[in-house]
Amino acid sequence: MRITASAVSLNVDDVAASSAFLAEHFGFRTEMSADGFASLTRDDAGLNVVFLRRGLATLPADQRDDHASGLILAFVVDDLEGELERLKSEGVPITMPLTVDEWGERSFQVRDPNGVIVQLVDWNA
């Protein structure tokens, strides 16, 4: 097997709201979109983030109404404190404060308008 691209697909109620949040606060851009679907990317992200509207008929029946709960969309960043201050200044509520885990990982979290958890991480601390 040869993998040529990677994506994570998340079912949400409002595709436009989640897409706008990633674009405005995290620098993603829409690569493809249609009714109930958007694929966002960044040149340095290594994957696409795909939002699918809950209830979309193209999804298998047992997945249609699922919500992207229990998932953390994590991005490793160079300047964790700088990103924390930037997001605060943009009015983004910090839903988990900056924490340091016993293994050295430092992170904080925000949530998008659909409740998707976005975690910024520094593994080089």
**Tokens representing residue 50 in the block:** 């795909």
The CA-atom distances, in angstroms, between 29 and each of 41, 59, 113 are 6, 24, 17
pLDDT at 68: 81
Task: Classify residue 30 by burial, with Cβ atoms within 10 Å: 0-12, 13-18, 19+.
Answer: middle
Measured at the alpha carbon of residue 94, what is the angle toward residues 117 and 20, in degrees to the nearest 5?
55
8-52: pLDDT as tens digits: 999 999 999 999 999 999 999 999 999 999 999 999 988 999 999
**For range 60-78, the mean pLDDT:** 90
Task: Give the confidence band of 123 by pLDDT, cuts at 50, 70, 90.
Answer: confident
3-state DSSP assignment of residue 118: strand
